[in-house]
Structure 1
Amino acid sequence: MSTQGTTPGARLPEKGLGLALEILEQVARHDEGSTAADIARAVGAPRATVYRIVNSLVRDEYLVRRADFSGFLLGARVLELAAVVDAHRRPAHAPVVEQLRRETGEAVHLFGFHSAGLTILDEDARHPLSDPATLLGDPTRSAIGHLWLLGHPDRDAPRAPRWRARPSAEDLRAIAGAYTVRGYTEQVAMLSPDRGCLAVPVHNEHSEAIGALTLSTSISRLSVAARHVHALRAGADALAGLEPLRGW
Protein backbone atom coordinates (compact mmCIF):
# COMPACT_ATOMS: atom_id res chain seq x y z
CA MET A 1 0.00 0.00 0.00
CA SER A 2 1.74 3.10 -1.20
CA THR A 3 1.09 6.61 0.01
CA GLN A 4 3.74 8.26 -2.12
CA GLY A 5 3.09 11.92 -2.77
CA THR A 6 1.41 12.54 0.57
CA THR A 7 2.73 14.74 3.33
CA PRO A 8 1.74 14.93 6.98
CA GLY A 9 0.06 18.29 6.35
CA ALA A 10 -2.06 16.83 3.54
CA ARG A 11 -3.80 14.25 5.69
CA LEU A 12 -7.35 14.61 6.92
CA PRO A 13 -7.77 16.73 10.05
CA GLU A 14 -9.26 14.89 13.00
CA LYS A 15 -12.60 16.71 12.68
CA GLY A 16 -13.00 15.32 9.15
CA LEU A 17 -12.54 11.68 10.10
CA GLY A 18 -16.20 11.13 10.97
CA LEU A 19 -17.35 12.50 7.63
CA ALA A 20 -14.68 10.46 5.86
CA LEU A 21 -16.07 7.28 7.43
CA GLU A 22 -19.59 8.26 6.34
CA ILE A 23 -18.31 8.76 2.80
CA LEU A 24 -16.62 5.35 2.78
CA GLU A 25 -19.85 3.78 4.02
CA GLN A 26 -21.85 5.40 1.22
CA VAL A 27 -19.42 4.22 -1.44
CA ALA A 28 -19.46 0.70 0.03
CA ARG A 29 -23.25 0.58 -0.41
CA HIS A 30 -22.99 0.95 -4.20
CA ASP A 31 -21.04 -1.69 -6.09
CA GLU A 32 -21.26 0.33 -9.30
CA GLY A 33 -19.66 3.36 -7.68
CA SER A 34 -20.87 6.73 -6.39
CA THR A 35 -20.31 10.25 -7.69
CA ALA A 36 -19.15 13.01 -5.38
CA ALA A 37 -22.49 14.76 -5.88
CA ASP A 38 -24.39 11.61 -4.85
CA ILE A 39 -22.19 11.22 -1.79
CA ALA A 40 -22.71 14.86 -0.78
CA ARG A 41 -26.49 14.45 -0.96
CA ALA A 42 -26.38 11.19 1.01
CA VAL A 43 -24.23 12.50 3.87
CA GLY A 44 -25.80 15.96 3.93
CA ALA A 45 -22.48 17.81 3.72
CA PRO A 46 -21.41 20.72 1.49
CA ARG A 47 -20.25 19.52 -1.89
CA ALA A 48 -16.94 21.36 -1.62
CA THR A 49 -16.18 19.64 1.69
CA VAL A 50 -17.04 16.23 0.25
CA TYR A 51 -14.85 16.85 -2.81
CA ARG A 52 -11.93 17.74 -0.56
CA ILE A 53 -12.31 14.62 1.60
CA VAL A 54 -12.91 12.35 -1.39
CA ASN A 55 -9.71 13.61 -3.01
CA SER A 56 -7.84 12.95 0.22
CA LEU A 57 -9.24 9.40 0.39
CA VAL A 58 -8.26 8.79 -3.23
CA ARG A 59 -4.77 10.06 -2.55
CA ASP A 60 -4.39 7.65 0.38
CA GLU A 61 -5.88 4.75 -1.62
CA TYR A 62 -9.04 4.36 0.45
CA LEU A 63 -11.04 5.26 -2.66
CA VAL A 64 -10.29 4.89 -6.34
CA ARG A 65 -11.80 6.66 -9.36
CA ARG A 66 -13.69 4.56 -11.87
CA ALA A 67 -11.87 4.14 -15.16
CA ASP A 68 -14.46 6.35 -16.90
CA PHE A 69 -14.23 8.99 -14.11
CA SER A 70 -17.98 8.63 -13.48
CA GLY A 71 -17.62 7.97 -9.76
CA PHE A 72 -15.63 6.38 -6.96
CA LEU A 73 -15.14 2.83 -5.70
CA LEU A 74 -13.53 1.42 -2.58
CA GLY A 75 -9.76 1.44 -2.87
CA ALA A 76 -7.00 -1.02 -2.09
CA ARG A 77 -6.52 -0.03 1.53
CA VAL A 78 -10.18 -0.58 2.44
CA LEU A 79 -10.25 -3.92 0.63
CA GLU A 80 -7.10 -5.04 2.40
CA LEU A 81 -8.58 -4.13 5.77
CA ALA A 82 -11.78 -6.03 4.91
CA ALA A 83 -9.72 -9.08 3.95
CA VAL A 84 -7.88 -8.99 7.28
CA VAL A 85 -11.14 -8.74 9.22
CA ASP A 86 -12.71 -11.53 7.17
CA ALA A 87 -9.71 -13.80 7.75
CA HIS A 88 -10.11 -13.35 11.50
CA ARG A 89 -13.85 -13.96 11.41
CA ARG A 90 -13.89 -16.98 9.13
CA PRO A 91 -13.86 -20.26 11.05
CA ALA A 92 -10.89 -22.53 10.45
CA HIS A 93 -13.05 -25.13 8.73
CA ALA A 94 -14.46 -22.73 6.11
CA PRO A 95 -11.82 -23.22 3.36
CA VAL A 96 -12.14 -27.02 3.53
CA VAL A 97 -15.93 -27.01 3.38
CA GLU A 98 -16.07 -24.38 0.65
CA GLN A 99 -13.59 -26.33 -1.47
CA LEU A 100 -15.74 -29.45 -1.18
CA ARG A 101 -18.79 -27.50 -2.32
CA ARG A 102 -16.92 -26.23 -5.37
CA GLU A 103 -15.41 -29.63 -6.15
CA THR A 104 -18.61 -31.67 -5.85
CA GLY A 105 -21.18 -29.12 -6.97
CA GLU A 106 -23.50 -30.51 -4.30
CA ALA A 107 -24.79 -29.36 -0.91
CA VAL A 108 -22.13 -30.01 1.73
CA HIS A 109 -22.83 -29.50 5.45
CA LEU A 110 -20.57 -29.80 8.49
CA PHE A 111 -21.78 -31.08 11.88
CA GLY A 112 -20.15 -31.42 15.27
CA PHE A 113 -20.87 -34.22 17.74
CA HIS A 114 -21.23 -33.82 21.48
CA SER A 115 -22.57 -35.99 24.28
CA ALA A 116 -26.09 -34.59 23.87
CA GLY A 117 -26.35 -34.94 20.11
CA LEU A 118 -25.50 -32.87 17.04
CA THR A 119 -24.47 -29.29 16.34
CA ILE A 120 -24.81 -27.63 12.92
CA LEU A 121 -21.43 -25.99 12.32
CA ASP A 122 -21.68 -24.99 8.67
CA GLU A 123 -24.94 -25.22 6.72
CA ASP A 124 -24.72 -24.83 2.96
CA ALA A 125 -26.51 -21.53 2.32
CA ARG A 126 -27.30 -22.51 -1.28
CA HIS A 127 -29.14 -25.64 -0.18
CA PRO A 128 -30.38 -25.27 3.41
CA LEU A 129 -31.23 -28.33 5.48
CA SER A 130 -34.71 -29.52 4.54
CA ASP A 131 -35.86 -30.56 8.03
CA PRO A 132 -33.37 -29.58 10.75
CA ALA A 133 -35.86 -30.26 13.57
CA THR A 134 -36.23 -33.91 12.59
CA LEU A 135 -32.52 -34.24 11.86
CA LEU A 136 -31.63 -33.00 15.34
CA GLY A 137 -34.40 -34.94 17.07
CA ASP A 138 -34.23 -38.44 15.54
CA PRO A 139 -30.81 -39.99 14.86
CA THR A 140 -32.33 -42.81 12.82
CA ARG A 141 -33.64 -40.41 10.17
CA SER A 142 -30.32 -38.95 8.97
CA ALA A 143 -26.92 -40.14 7.79
CA ILE A 144 -25.37 -37.80 10.37
CA GLY A 145 -27.45 -39.32 13.15
CA HIS A 146 -26.35 -42.79 12.08
CA LEU A 147 -22.72 -41.76 12.50
CA TRP A 148 -23.48 -40.31 15.92
CA LEU A 149 -25.07 -43.58 17.02
CA LEU A 150 -22.09 -45.59 15.77
CA GLY A 151 -19.69 -43.29 17.62
CA HIS A 152 -21.56 -43.35 20.94
CA PRO A 153 -21.84 -46.89 22.29
CA ASP A 154 -22.78 -45.36 25.67
CA ARG A 155 -25.93 -43.77 24.22
CA ASP A 156 -28.08 -45.59 26.81
CA ALA A 157 -26.06 -44.31 29.76
CA PRO A 158 -27.68 -41.76 32.09
CA ARG A 159 -25.94 -38.84 30.33
CA ALA A 160 -27.00 -39.96 26.85
CA PRO A 161 -29.17 -37.51 24.89
CA ARG A 162 -32.91 -37.56 25.12
CA TRP A 163 -33.75 -37.81 21.45
CA ARG A 164 -37.42 -37.52 20.58
CA ALA A 165 -37.06 -40.96 18.96
CA ARG A 166 -34.98 -43.81 20.36
CA PRO A 167 -33.38 -46.33 18.01
CA SER A 168 -34.29 -49.97 18.35
CA ALA A 169 -31.70 -52.74 18.54
CA GLU A 170 -32.71 -53.75 15.01
CA ASP A 171 -32.12 -50.18 13.77
CA LEU A 172 -28.65 -50.15 15.31
CA ARG A 173 -27.70 -53.49 13.79
CA ALA A 174 -28.84 -52.33 10.35
CA ILE A 175 -26.93 -49.04 10.63
CA ALA A 176 -23.74 -50.77 11.76
CA GLY A 177 -24.02 -53.41 9.05
CA ALA A 178 -24.50 -50.85 6.26
CA TYR A 179 -21.58 -48.77 7.53
CA THR A 180 -19.34 -51.84 7.61
CA VAL A 181 -20.12 -52.52 3.94
CA ARG A 182 -19.97 -48.94 2.62
CA GLY A 183 -17.58 -47.17 4.96
CA TYR A 184 -20.04 -44.26 5.13
CA THR A 185 -23.66 -43.75 6.13
CA GLU A 186 -26.57 -42.96 3.86
CA GLN A 187 -30.20 -41.92 4.08
CA VAL A 188 -32.73 -41.75 1.27
CA ALA A 189 -35.96 -39.69 1.40
CA MET A 190 -36.15 -39.79 5.20
CA LEU A 191 -35.96 -36.02 5.66
CA SER A 192 -37.18 -34.86 2.26
CA PRO A 193 -39.03 -37.04 -0.29
CA ASP A 194 -36.76 -36.10 -3.17
CA ARG A 195 -33.34 -35.94 -1.51
CA GLY A 196 -30.77 -38.23 0.03
CA CYS A 197 -27.54 -37.79 1.95
CA LEU A 198 -24.09 -39.38 2.43
CA ALA A 199 -21.99 -38.78 5.54
CA VAL A 200 -18.42 -39.51 6.60
CA PRO A 201 -17.07 -39.05 10.13
CA VAL A 202 -14.45 -36.56 11.28
CA HIS A 203 -12.18 -38.21 13.86
CA ASN A 204 -9.88 -36.78 16.50
CA GLU A 205 -6.41 -38.04 17.35
CA HIS A 206 -7.98 -40.83 19.44
CA SER A 207 -10.03 -42.06 16.46
CA GLU A 208 -13.21 -40.84 18.11
CA ALA A 209 -15.94 -39.40 15.88
CA ILE A 210 -16.19 -35.69 16.70
CA GLY A 211 -18.28 -34.62 13.73
CA ALA A 212 -19.39 -35.39 10.20
CA LEU A 213 -19.21 -34.06 6.68
CA THR A 214 -22.35 -34.68 4.67
CA LEU A 215 -23.24 -34.41 1.03
CA SER A 216 -26.90 -33.95 0.15
CA THR A 217 -28.32 -34.30 -3.35
CA SER A 218 -31.41 -35.39 -5.27
CA ILE A 219 -32.32 -39.07 -5.02
CA SER A 220 -31.76 -39.49 -8.75
CA ARG A 221 -28.13 -38.36 -8.31
CA LEU A 222 -27.34 -40.11 -5.04
CA SER A 223 -25.61 -43.16 -6.52
CA VAL A 224 -23.54 -40.91 -8.80
CA ALA A 225 -22.70 -38.59 -5.92
CA ALA A 226 -21.12 -41.52 -4.10
CA ARG A 227 -18.05 -40.90 -6.26
CA HIS A 228 -17.37 -37.90 -4.02
CA VAL A 229 -16.96 -40.01 -0.88
CA HIS A 230 -13.18 -39.99 -1.35
CA ALA A 231 -13.19 -36.18 -1.43
CA LEU A 232 -15.37 -36.07 1.69
CA ARG A 233 -12.94 -38.37 3.50
CA ALA A 234 -10.00 -36.21 2.48
CA GLY A 235 -11.89 -33.18 3.78
CA ALA A 236 -12.63 -34.98 7.04
CA ASP A 237 -8.92 -35.76 7.45
CA ALA A 238 -8.07 -32.08 6.89
CA LEU A 239 -10.66 -30.95 9.43
CA ALA A 240 -9.40 -33.39 12.06
CA GLY A 241 -6.05 -31.63 12.06
CA LEU A 242 -7.45 -28.17 12.80
CA GLU A 243 -6.90 -27.13 16.38
CA PRO A 244 -10.13 -25.10 16.74
CA LEU A 245 -12.21 -28.17 15.88
CA ARG A 246 -10.97 -30.33 18.73
CA GLY A 247 -13.42 -28.78 21.11
CA TRP A 248 -16.47 -30.23 19.39
Structure 2
Amino acid sequence: MSGGGLAGDTRLPEKGLGLALEILEQVARDDRGASAAEIARAVGAPRATVYRVVNSLVRDEYLVRRADFSGFLLGTRVLELAAIVGARTRPAHAAVVERLRTETGEAVHLFAFHRSGLLVLDEDAAQPLSDPDVLLADPTRSAIGHLWLVAHPDRRLPQAPSWRTDAAPGDVRAIHEAYAVRGYTEQVALLRSDRGCLAVPIHDDAARPVGAVTLSTSLSRVSIAARHVGALRDAARALAPIGALSDW
Protein backbone atom coordinates (compact mmCIF):
# COMPACT_ATOMS: atom_id res chain seq x y z
CA MET A 1 0.00 0.00 0.00
CA SER A 2 1.27 3.48 -0.76
CA GLY A 3 3.03 5.30 2.06
CA GLY A 4 1.22 8.52 1.06
CA GLY A 5 -2.08 9.61 2.52
CA LEU A 6 -4.30 12.46 3.53
CA ALA A 7 -1.64 14.32 5.47
CA GLY A 8 -0.59 17.96 5.85
CA ASP A 9 -2.04 20.28 3.21
CA THR A 10 -3.49 17.37 1.21
CA ARG A 11 -5.93 16.32 3.97
CA LEU A 12 -9.59 16.53 3.01
CA PRO A 13 -11.62 18.81 5.28
CA GLU A 14 -14.03 16.98 7.59
CA LYS A 15 -17.04 18.16 5.61
CA GLY A 16 -15.48 16.70 2.48
CA LEU A 17 -15.12 13.17 3.85
CA GLY A 18 -18.79 12.33 3.33
CA LEU A 19 -18.62 13.60 -0.24
CA ALA A 20 -15.44 11.59 -0.85
CA LEU A 21 -17.20 8.42 0.26
CA GLU A 22 -20.18 9.20 -1.99
CA ILE A 23 -17.81 9.71 -4.91
CA LEU A 24 -16.06 6.40 -4.25
CA GLU A 25 -19.44 4.65 -4.12
CA GLN A 26 -20.51 6.14 -7.45
CA VAL A 27 -17.24 5.11 -9.12
CA ALA A 28 -17.59 1.59 -7.68
CA ARG A 29 -21.06 1.31 -9.25
CA ASP A 30 -19.79 2.11 -12.76
CA ASP A 31 -17.21 -0.40 -14.00
CA ARG A 32 -16.81 1.55 -17.26
CA GLY A 33 -15.26 4.51 -15.47
CA ALA A 34 -17.46 7.39 -14.35
CA SER A 35 -16.59 10.90 -15.55
CA ALA A 36 -16.35 13.79 -13.11
CA ALA A 37 -19.47 15.36 -14.64
CA GLU A 38 -21.42 12.11 -14.16
CA ILE A 39 -20.22 11.85 -10.57
CA ALA A 40 -21.24 15.45 -9.86
CA ARG A 41 -24.75 14.80 -11.19
CA ALA A 42 -25.07 11.57 -9.22
CA VAL A 43 -24.00 13.04 -5.86
CA GLY A 44 -25.75 16.38 -6.39
CA ALA A 45 -22.70 18.48 -5.56
CA PRO A 46 -21.17 21.45 -7.43
CA ARG A 47 -18.92 20.29 -10.22
CA ALA A 48 -15.97 22.38 -8.99
CA THR A 49 -16.23 20.81 -5.54
CA VAL A 50 -16.39 17.30 -7.01
CA TYR A 51 -13.36 17.99 -9.21
CA ARG A 52 -11.40 19.09 -6.14
CA VAL A 53 -12.29 15.97 -4.15
CA VAL A 54 -11.72 13.65 -7.13
CA ASN A 55 -8.25 15.14 -7.70
CA SER A 56 -7.46 14.56 -4.01
CA LEU A 57 -8.62 10.94 -4.25
CA VAL A 58 -6.52 10.41 -7.38
CA ARG A 59 -3.48 11.93 -5.69
CA ASP A 60 -3.83 9.51 -2.78
CA GLU A 61 -4.48 6.49 -5.05
CA TYR A 62 -8.08 5.92 -4.01
CA LEU A 63 -9.08 6.65 -7.61
CA VAL A 64 -7.20 6.31 -10.88
CA ARG A 65 -7.85 7.99 -14.23
CA ARG A 66 -8.74 5.79 -17.19
CA ALA A 67 -6.00 5.57 -19.80
CA ASP A 68 -8.11 7.63 -22.23
CA PHE A 69 -8.93 10.21 -19.50
CA SER A 70 -12.66 9.63 -20.05
CA GLY A 71 -13.39 8.79 -16.42
CA PHE A 72 -12.21 7.37 -13.12
CA LEU A 73 -11.87 3.86 -11.67
CA LEU A 74 -11.18 2.62 -8.16
CA GLY A 75 -7.51 2.90 -7.28
CA THR A 76 -5.07 0.54 -5.63
CA ARG A 77 -5.74 1.67 -2.07
CA VAL A 78 -9.46 0.89 -2.31
CA LEU A 79 -8.76 -2.47 -3.96
CA GLU A 80 -6.25 -3.37 -1.27
CA LEU A 81 -8.76 -2.51 1.45
CA ALA A 82 -11.42 -4.60 -0.30
CA ALA A 83 -9.03 -7.56 -0.48
CA ILE A 84 -8.29 -7.31 3.24
CA VAL A 85 -11.98 -7.17 4.15
CA GLY A 86 -12.80 -9.96 1.71
CA ALA A 87 -10.17 -12.24 3.24
CA ARG A 88 -11.62 -11.66 6.70
CA THR A 89 -15.22 -12.18 5.63
CA ARG A 90 -14.80 -15.17 3.34
CA PRO A 91 -18.22 -16.84 3.25
CA ALA A 92 -18.57 -20.36 4.59
CA HIS A 93 -19.68 -21.68 1.20
CA ALA A 94 -16.59 -20.43 -0.66
CA ALA A 95 -14.41 -23.53 -0.15
CA VAL A 96 -17.16 -25.91 -1.32
CA VAL A 97 -17.93 -23.88 -4.44
CA GLU A 98 -14.27 -23.34 -5.34
CA ARG A 99 -13.55 -27.04 -4.95
CA LEU A 100 -16.43 -27.87 -7.29
CA ARG A 101 -15.14 -25.41 -9.89
CA THR A 102 -11.71 -27.00 -9.75
CA GLU A 103 -13.10 -30.54 -9.88
CA THR A 104 -15.42 -29.95 -12.86
CA GLY A 105 -13.47 -27.32 -14.79
CA GLU A 106 -16.82 -25.67 -15.61
CA ALA A 107 -18.62 -22.48 -14.59
CA VAL A 108 -20.25 -23.05 -11.20
CA HIS A 109 -22.65 -20.54 -9.60
CA LEU A 110 -24.48 -20.55 -6.27
CA PHE A 111 -28.02 -19.20 -5.81
CA ALA A 112 -30.51 -18.82 -2.98
CA PHE A 113 -34.27 -18.68 -3.47
CA HIS A 114 -36.62 -16.10 -2.00
CA ARG A 115 -40.33 -15.63 -2.48
CA SER A 116 -40.02 -13.18 -5.34
CA GLY A 117 -37.11 -14.66 -7.27
CA LEU A 118 -33.41 -15.50 -7.05
CA LEU A 119 -30.39 -14.21 -5.18
CA VAL A 120 -26.92 -14.73 -6.69
CA LEU A 121 -24.72 -15.76 -3.76
CA ASP A 122 -21.54 -16.68 -5.61
CA GLU A 123 -20.98 -15.98 -9.31
CA ASP A 124 -18.02 -17.66 -10.98
CA ALA A 125 -15.69 -14.72 -11.60
CA ALA A 126 -13.64 -16.64 -14.15
CA GLN A 127 -16.74 -17.65 -16.14
CA PRO A 128 -19.49 -15.16 -15.22
CA LEU A 129 -23.21 -15.51 -15.90
CA SER A 130 -23.81 -15.08 -19.62
CA ASP A 131 -26.96 -12.95 -19.37
CA PRO A 132 -27.87 -12.18 -15.73
CA ASP A 133 -30.61 -9.72 -16.67
CA VAL A 134 -32.58 -12.33 -18.61
CA LEU A 135 -31.78 -15.06 -16.09
CA LEU A 136 -33.20 -12.98 -13.23
CA ALA A 137 -36.23 -11.82 -15.23
CA ASP A 138 -37.60 -14.96 -16.88
CA PRO A 139 -37.76 -18.27 -14.94
CA THR A 140 -38.41 -20.27 -18.12
CA ARG A 141 -35.04 -19.38 -19.68
CA SER A 142 -32.65 -20.98 -17.18
CA ALA A 143 -32.12 -24.19 -15.25
CA ILE A 144 -32.10 -22.21 -12.00
CA GLY A 145 -35.38 -20.54 -12.97
CA HIS A 146 -36.88 -23.97 -13.68
CA LEU A 147 -35.80 -25.11 -10.25
CA TRP A 148 -37.37 -22.04 -8.62
CA LEU A 149 -40.66 -22.91 -10.37
CA VAL A 150 -40.41 -26.43 -8.96
CA ALA A 151 -39.83 -25.02 -5.47
CA HIS A 152 -42.67 -22.47 -5.76
CA PRO A 153 -45.39 -24.22 -7.79
CA ASP A 154 -48.14 -21.81 -6.73
CA ARG A 155 -46.28 -18.50 -7.01
CA ARG A 156 -47.03 -16.44 -10.08
CA LEU A 157 -46.84 -12.79 -11.03
CA PRO A 158 -47.40 -10.41 -9.31
CA GLN A 159 -46.66 -12.56 -6.25
CA ALA A 160 -43.09 -12.95 -7.52
CA PRO A 161 -42.27 -9.40 -8.67
CA SER A 162 -38.61 -10.08 -9.47
CA TRP A 163 -39.74 -12.14 -12.46
CA ARG A 164 -40.84 -9.91 -15.33
CA THR A 165 -42.06 -12.87 -17.38
CA ASP A 166 -44.70 -15.28 -16.11
CA ALA A 167 -44.46 -18.98 -16.89
CA ALA A 168 -47.24 -20.65 -18.86
CA PRO A 169 -48.97 -23.48 -16.95
CA GLY A 170 -48.02 -25.98 -19.65
CA ASP A 171 -44.35 -25.03 -19.37
CA VAL A 172 -44.43 -25.35 -15.58
CA ARG A 173 -46.04 -28.77 -15.83
CA ALA A 174 -43.35 -29.96 -18.27
CA ILE A 175 -40.60 -28.62 -16.00
CA HIS A 176 -42.06 -30.48 -13.02
CA GLU A 177 -42.29 -33.72 -15.00
CA ALA A 178 -38.68 -33.48 -16.20
CA TYR A 179 -37.47 -32.68 -12.67
CA ALA A 180 -39.39 -35.67 -11.26
CA VAL A 181 -37.43 -37.94 -13.61
CA ARG A 182 -33.97 -36.41 -13.24
CA GLY A 183 -33.94 -34.83 -9.79
CA TYR A 184 -32.32 -31.72 -11.27
CA THR A 185 -33.19 -29.19 -13.98
CA GLU A 186 -31.54 -28.50 -17.29
CA GLN A 187 -31.65 -25.88 -20.02
CA VAL A 188 -29.99 -25.94 -23.42
CA ALA A 189 -29.44 -22.80 -25.54
CA LEU A 190 -32.23 -20.83 -23.85
CA LEU A 191 -30.01 -18.02 -22.56
CA ARG A 192 -27.22 -18.30 -25.12
CA SER A 193 -27.20 -20.37 -28.29
CA ASP A 194 -23.82 -21.91 -27.38
CA ARG A 195 -24.38 -22.67 -23.66
CA GLY A 196 -26.36 -25.04 -21.45
CA CYS A 197 -26.79 -25.45 -17.71
CA LEU A 198 -27.71 -27.91 -14.95
CA ALA A 199 -29.16 -26.91 -11.56
CA VAL A 200 -29.17 -29.16 -8.50
CA PRO A 201 -31.33 -28.12 -5.53
CA ILE A 202 -30.13 -27.35 -2.03
CA HIS A 203 -32.65 -28.42 0.60
CA ASP A 204 -33.29 -27.19 4.12
CA ASP A 205 -34.07 -29.39 7.13
CA ALA A 206 -37.70 -29.63 5.99
CA ALA A 207 -36.59 -30.92 2.57
CA ARG A 208 -37.69 -27.69 0.85
CA PRO A 209 -35.53 -26.40 -2.06
CA VAL A 210 -34.01 -23.16 -0.78
CA GLY A 211 -31.30 -22.63 -3.36
CA ALA A 212 -29.20 -24.37 -5.95
CA VAL A 213 -25.75 -24.96 -7.26
CA THR A 214 -25.53 -24.70 -11.04
CA LEU A 215 -23.05 -25.82 -13.64
CA SER A 216 -22.85 -24.04 -17.00
CA THR A 217 -20.97 -25.44 -19.97
CA SER A 218 -20.62 -25.16 -23.72
CA LEU A 219 -23.37 -26.61 -25.87
CA SER A 220 -21.04 -29.30 -27.18
CA ARG A 221 -20.44 -30.53 -23.62
CA VAL A 222 -23.99 -30.47 -22.27
CA SER A 223 -24.55 -34.11 -23.21
CA ILE A 224 -21.67 -35.20 -20.96
CA ALA A 225 -22.22 -32.66 -18.17
CA ALA A 226 -24.45 -35.15 -16.33
CA ARG A 227 -21.30 -36.92 -15.15
CA HIS A 228 -20.88 -34.02 -12.71
CA VAL A 229 -24.34 -34.40 -11.15
CA GLY A 230 -22.95 -36.55 -8.33
CA ALA A 231 -20.40 -33.87 -7.44
CA LEU A 232 -23.10 -31.20 -7.64
CA ARG A 233 -25.31 -33.19 -5.27
CA ASP A 234 -22.44 -33.68 -2.82
CA ALA A 235 -21.82 -29.94 -2.90
CA ALA A 236 -25.55 -29.24 -2.44
CA ARG A 237 -25.59 -31.37 0.72
CA ALA A 238 -22.53 -29.53 2.04
CA LEU A 239 -24.17 -26.19 1.24
CA ALA A 240 -27.47 -26.98 2.97
CA PRO A 241 -26.92 -24.28 5.67
CA ILE A 242 -27.73 -21.56 3.11
CA GLY A 243 -31.34 -22.43 3.94
CA ALA A 244 -31.07 -19.78 6.63
CA LEU A 245 -30.84 -17.17 3.84
CA SER A 246 -34.06 -18.24 2.22
CA ASP A 247 -37.15 -16.05 2.74
CA TRP A 248 -40.08 -18.42 2.90
Q: Same fold (TM over 0.5)?
A: yes
What is aligned with 1:170?
A: 170
C-alpha contact 1:147 1:185 (8 A) present in aligned 2? yes
- Residue correspondences, number: 170
Offset at residue 118 of structure 1 (A) = 0.4
Q: Is this contact kept in 2: 1:186–1:196, CA < 8 A?
A: yes
Partner residue, 1:93: 93
Partner of 2:66: none
Q: Could you say which residue in structure 2 is the equivalent of 1:246?
A: 244
User: Which entry has the higher C-alpha Rg, 1 or 2?
Assistant: 1
1:97 & 1:162 partners in 2: Cα distance?
A: 25
- Other structure's SS at 1:176 match: helix
- The answer for the alignment partner of 2:137 in structure 1 is 137
Correspondence for 1:7: none
Q: Point out where structure 2 has 5 or more consecutive residues left out of the alignment.
A: 5-82
Provide closer, same or farther for how the CA distance between residues 140 and 21 of structure 1 changes in structure 2, counting only shifts above 3 A.
closer
Could you tell me which runs of 5 or more consecutive residues in structure 1 were left unpaired when the two chains were aligned.
1-19, 24-82
1:211 correspondence with 2:211: yes
- The Cα shift of 1:138 comes to 0.2
Match of 1:186 in 2: 186
Q: How does 1:16-95 map to 2 (within 5 A)?
A: 22=3, 87-95=87-95
Whether the aligned pair in 2 keeps the contact of 1:135 and 1:142 (CA below 8 Å) is: yes
Q: For 1:109-137, what per-residue CA distance to the aligned partner results, in whole angstroms no more than 9, with x for missing partners?
A: 00111011001111101111111010000
Q: Which residue of 2 aligns with 1:223?
A: 223
Q: Structure 1, residues 202-238: CA drift from partner, whole Å, max 9, x if none?
A: 1111111111100000011011111000100100000
AA of the residue aligned to 1:112: A
Any idea what SS the aligned residue of 1:22 has? Answer: coil
Q: Deviations over 1:158-185 (max 9, x none)?
A: 6333522111111011101111111110
Q: 1:227 to 1:89 in 2, by over 3 A?
A: same
With structure 2 as the length reference, what TM-score do the two structures score? 0.63
Identity percentage of aligned residues: 63
Measured in 2, the distance between the counterparts of 1:134 and 1:84 equals 33
- Partners of 1:144 and 1:181 in 2: CA distance: 17
In structure 2, what is the Cα distance between the partners aligned to 1:95 and 1:202? 16
CA distance in 1, matches of 2:158, 2:107: 35
- Which amino acid in structure 2 is aligned with residue 227 of structure 1? R
| Aligned counterparts of 1:247 and 1:241: Cα–Cα separation in 2 | 8
Change (3 A) 1:165 1:158: closer
Tell me, yes or no, if the aligned pair for 1:109 and 1:215 is still in contact at 8 Å. yes
Structure 1 runs of 4+ off > 6 angstroms?
none
Specify the alignment match of 1:154 in structure 2: 154
